């Protein structure tokens, strides 16, 4: 009887120690997720509509060419340091912009006055070609979203791009 009692006590001690270790691991895992990332808040940021390949070289035509960046979440996200690039390596860097929840901003190619809904790259030449890819990266250079257009087939072009 004492051997059985000793075994039960040992088993109870092992189970209790396991429960303590498991309880201690839960907050640590949650903390790691918070520390890892910016990823939580940035997962709501996506590339929305694209208006590309506007005809003409004047500023009006350049401003008809834009990429929309959307915040699909409820909370605002600071886009400072985010970048938007094309396939040729042209890059636009977001400065001091907090995008409200469930809102969007259009990044125009030409010149204009930045607002909460429209930003301007101040370029003199078209950026977004008939066939191109827009890549949005966060302030640490991680890919947030990509959008491709004008290829032979649009089927599955998001498959390997969203992270």
Q: What pLDDT, on the 0 to 100 scale, is given for residue 57? A: 80
Q: What pLDDT, on the 0 to 100 scale, is given for residue 85? A: 98
**DSSP element (H, E) containing 23:** helix 2-36
Q: What pLDDT, on the 0 to 100 scale, is given for residue 2? A: 56
Higher pLDDT, 149 or 152: 149
Which pLDDT tens digit goes with each residue over 7-65? Answer: 556 545 544 444 444 443 333 333 323 333 344 557 899 999 999 877 888 999 999 99
Q: What pLDDT, on the 0 to 100 scale, is given for residue 33? A: 33
Q: What angle do CA 144, 87, 81 make, to 5 degrees?
A: 40
The confidence band for 92, taking pLDDT boundaries of 50, 70 and 90, is very high
What is the rounded average pLDDT for all residues in the chain?
Answer: 78
Give the sign of the dihedral formed by CA 50, CA 54, CA 57, CA 60. negative
The confidence band for 115, taking pLDDT boundaries of 50, 70 and 90, is very high
Q: What pLDDT, on the 0 to 100 scale, is given for residue 13? A: 52
What's the pTM value of the predicted model, to 2 decimals? Answer: 0.69
Q: What pLDDT, on the 0 to 100 scale, is given for residue 1? A: 52
Q: What angle do CA 80, 45, 133 make, to 5 degrees?
A: 90
**Cα–Cα distance for residue pair 44/39, rounded to 1 Å:** 9
**Cα–Cα distance for residue pair 59/153, rounded to 1 Å:** 31
Other Cβ atoms less than 10 A from the Cβ of 123: the count is: 16
């Amino acid at each position: 009887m004492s051997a059985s009692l000793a075994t039960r006590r040992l088993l109870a001690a092992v189970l209790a120690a396991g429960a303590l270790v498991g309880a201690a691991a839960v907050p640590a895992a949650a903390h790691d997720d918070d520390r890892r990332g910016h990823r939580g808040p940035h997962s709501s940021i996506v590339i929305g509509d694209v208006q590309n390949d506007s005809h003409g070289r004047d500023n009006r035509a350049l401003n008809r060419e834009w990429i929309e960046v959307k915040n699909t979440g409820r909370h605002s996200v600071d886009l400072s340091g985010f970048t938007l690039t094309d396939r040729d390596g042209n890059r636009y860097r977001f400065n001091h912009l907090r995008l409200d929840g469930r809102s969007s901003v259009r990044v125009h190619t030409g010149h204009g006055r930045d607002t909460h809904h429209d930003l301007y790259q101040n370029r003199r030449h078209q950026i977004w070609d008939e066939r191109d890819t827009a890549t949005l990266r966060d302030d640490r250079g991680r890919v947030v979203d990509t959008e491709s257009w004008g290829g032979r087939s649009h089927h599955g072009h998001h498959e390997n791009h969203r992270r």
